[in-house]
Structure 1
């Protein structure tokens, strides 16, 4: 059965930050047993998940996002801690967090509204910016939240990076890495 590709808008993580995170991920995998780790080239911050998208509707969303972001400037984000979604003893999603950023919130709001305007039905949960690192706890015991402190041993200071563009990614489930940037919206530098 041939699955339709899924699309989403995201802040792209720069290559140099992905290289640093690759080293961190290798060390995290030694102490945190999760079933599936994200390929370092797939690291991103999702702004709006579209799912399967008709080409015309996707193009319309891209047009609206381009208009919405035309005057937005690039901004600095800082990866500062680890967290998880799901049950405390058996997390479903393991992620890296960034320090609060009004620029990120504002960019997400513009992208989200543009996608709604194009006719997409989007997730209604509050926006919780994060960089997914792994999925599904598979440890022999319960997950211990103090394991999240391992980040500060790897990265004593927050890890800064410049958010320079918003990207439309297409998902290729049978490839690694599985996200392909199909459209890029550069932010002003």
Structure 2
């Protein structure tokens, strides 16, 4: 049996996912990446746990439920970017405008996971929504391609962030992420 991987993420609401799906369809014609992410799998990762025992997940979930005292907040998706080699990026993503509450939420989720015994990545947090993976073209990728495709110039995607979600990964399925626990942020009203 395959070990399940888990991660905590900020949920992207359905309406924003659908707008990103439409943008992604347009971008697929212009950008040659091997794998494009199913629109239902779009999210902002807060802490990747990898394999996790049920009891360890239960401890983290209980702690997170108690610690999740943040208000819901507005996020704006407003630019594109890549991670990896400049000429052959491994990740193509959509990024958000700076939002201090997002960083505070991530820090709380991250520290809660550490307190629960998880070993986490130590790379700095760069909020992003992965759209595609692995550049696959004979021509090298060039950052000016992103400037040409300034899709957010006329229409930014703005949404209310309301939930942190624990996802389980199902390799070989599409969509491949299953929400197994939800932690609502406090409603502002």
Quick check: TM above 0.5? yes
Unaligned runs of 5+ in 2: none
- Deviation string 1:91-147 (CA, Å, 9 cap, x unpaired) is 011000001110100000000010001000100111111000000000120001111
1:23 and 1:140 mapped to 2: Cα distance? Answer: 26
* Contact preservation (8 Å) 1:83, 1:94: yes
Classify the secondary structure of the residue corresponding to 1:148: helix
After superposition, where does 1:68-79 map in structure 2 within 5 Å? 68-69=67-68, 71-79=69-77
2:99 match: 101
- Deviation string 1:47-94 (CA, Å, 9 cap, x unpaired) is 00000000000110111111111x211001100100000010000110
Classify the secondary structure of the residue corresponding to 1:85: strand
* Contact preservation (8 Å) 2:4, 2:170: yes
* Contact preservation (8 Å) 1:11, 1:165: yes
Q: Which has the higher helix share?
A: 1
2:80 and 2:32 mapped to 1: Cα distance? Answer: 15
1:43 and 1:151 mapped to 2: Cα distance? Answer: 20
* CA RMSD after TM alignment: 1.1
Question: Is 1:135 matched with 2:133?
Answer: yes
2:84 match: 86
1:155 Cα offset (Å) = 5.2
1:40 Cα offset (Å) = 0.3
Deviating 4+ runs (over 3 angstroms): none
Classify the secondary structure of the residue corresponding to 2:3: coil
* Contact preservation (8 Å) 2:18, 2:39: yes
1:154 Cα offset (Å) = 5.6
Question: Is 1:45 matched with 2:44?
Answer: yes
Aligned length: 187
1:12 match: 11
1:151 and 1:112 mapped to 2: Cα distance? Answer: 33
Question: Is 1:61 matched with 2:95?
Answer: no
* Contact preservation (8 Å) 1:83, 1:97: yes
1:157 Cα offset (Å) = 3.7
